[in-house]
Structure 1
Amino acid sequence: MVKFDMGAAWDDTLQLLKSHTALVGTIAGVFLFLPALAVAWFGPVPVEPAAGADINQVMATFQESFRQMIPGQLAIALCALIGTAGILRLWLSRTGVSVGEALTFALMVFPTMIAIQILCGFAIGLGFLLLIVPGIYLVGRLALVAPAVADRGIYNPFEAIRTSWDLTRNNGWAIFFFLFLVALVIVIAALIVGGVVSVIAGSEPGFGRMLGGFIEAAFSTVGSLASIAVSAAAYRQLALRTSSDVFQ
């Protein structure tokens, strides 16, 4: 059984982010950045509770804001599935792949990716309800589902989940902590930059919202790319079985 090496995976993550820059940037721009930017600029503004509102009014305001955000966030998530599959196809292909070929593949596996998101989301959500720890563990064990689909052309979501489960055996916690550390760095950077932008430009309609939305979409795209690269690097490390499996 291959032992997961965080250091080697991080080096490979950086290498992936530097490869196919123009092609990956095109897909990320269309399917990750622009949808997030459109929602940030033209989506509903969060509802603020009235001054002196009690806890029930605050909760009602929060629920209304959440309800208004659902359509936009759903559109972002669906676009991200296509972008994720296309980018992973570029990174994991052992032969040259064009943007058109990568996106064609992404559209073909789109129903599979949706099914995987539903199944994994349900499993992880149930795991978090069971004292949180099982959910955290499942995040690590299911982290390689999308790379497996992109590399092996798996259309059966259950087979993709089983593949990730097999590849991450005895490495679930290590993969989770790797994902967590990378995500933590990105979140901290986003909070710092977002706070500075909010102080300088404000959040009122107009320039403040446009600049804040741009920064938010940019960090969302960077975070998504980093997450995709981390999962791809972990997959490349754990999926090597013979010399013929070496990724170029």
Structure 2
Amino acid sequence: MVKFDMGAAWDDTLQLLKSHTALVGTIAGVFLFLPTLAVAWFGPVPIEPPAGADINQVMEGFRESFRQMIPGQIAIALCTLIGTAAILRLWLSRTGTSVGEALTFGFMLFPTMLAIQILCGFAIGFGFILLIIPGLYLLGRLALVAPAVADRSLYNPFEAIRTSWDLTRENGWAIFFFLFLVGLVIVIAALIVGGVVSVIAGSGPGLGRILGGFVEAAFGAAGSLVSIAVSAAAYRQLTLRTSSDVFQ
């Protein structure tokens, strides 16, 4: 059984991020950055509780804000699925792939990616209900589903999930901690930059919302792109191949 090496995976992640930069940047800009920016600029504004509001009023405002955000977040998630499949296809393809071919692949695999997202979401959510730890473990075991779909053109979501489960055997926790550490760095950086922008431009309508939305979209796209590269690097490392069937 191949043991997961975080250092090697990070080196490969950087290599992936440097490859096909123009093509990947085009797809990431359209499917990862612009949808988030559109929602941030034109979507509903979070409801601020009135001065002196009690806990019930605060919670009611939170629930209403969350309800208003759902359509926009669904749209972002659906665009991200297409962009993820297309970017992974570019990175994992053994032959030259154009943006058009990658996007065609992403649209064709969209139903499969959506089914996988729902199935994995239910599984991980149920794992979190069972005292959180099983959910964290499942995050690691299911991290390679999307790369498996992109590499092997798997249209059966259950086969894709089984492939990730087989590849991550005895490496689930290592992959989870790798994803967690990378994600933590991105979140901290986003909070710092977002806080600075909020102090300089404010958080109200006008310039504050424009700059805040741009920062949110930029870090959202960058975070998604790094997460995709991390999963692809882990997949490349744990996929056993012959000398005539390797990633270049």
Question: Which TM-score applies when normalising by structure 2?
Answer: 0.99
Partner of 1:163: 163
Partner of 2:133: 133
Partner of 2:48: 48
Partner of 1:214: 214
Partner of 1:35: 35
Structure-1 separation of matches of 2:203 and 2:245: 50
Give the alignment of 1:220-239 within 5 angstroms. 220-239=220-239
Structure-1 separation of matches of 2:70 and 2:117: 16
- Moved beyond 3 Å, runs of 4+: none
Structure-1 separation of matches of 2:24 and 2:144: 19
| 1:242 shift after superposition | 1.6
Give the alignment of 1:1-248 within 5 angstroms. 1-248=1-248
Deviation sequence 1:202-247 (CA, Å, 0-9, x none)? 0111111001100110000000000000000000000133222310
RMSD of the alignment, in Å? 0.5
Structure-2 separation of matches of 1:172 and 1:195: 34
| 1:126 shift after superposition | 0.2
1:204 match: secondary structure: coil
- Mark the runs of 5 or more structure 2 residues left unpaired by the alignment: none
Q: Tell me how many residue pairs correspond in the alignment.
A: 248
Structure-2 separation of matches of 1:244 and 1:39: 45
2:12 match: secondary structure: helix
Of all paired residues, the percent bearing the same amino acid is 87
Larger CA deviation: 20-29 vs 50-59: 50-59
2:7 match: secondary structure: helix
Deviation sequence 1:37-93 (CA, Å, 0-9, x none)? 000000000001111111111111000000000000000000000000000000000
Structure-2 separation of matches of 1:156 and 1:76: 24
Structure-2 separation of matches of 1:92 and 1:105: 13
Structure-1 separation of matches of 2:221 and 2:124: 23
- Mark the runs of 5 or more structure 1 residues left unpaired by the alignment: none
- Structure 1 counterpart of 2:16, one-letter code: L
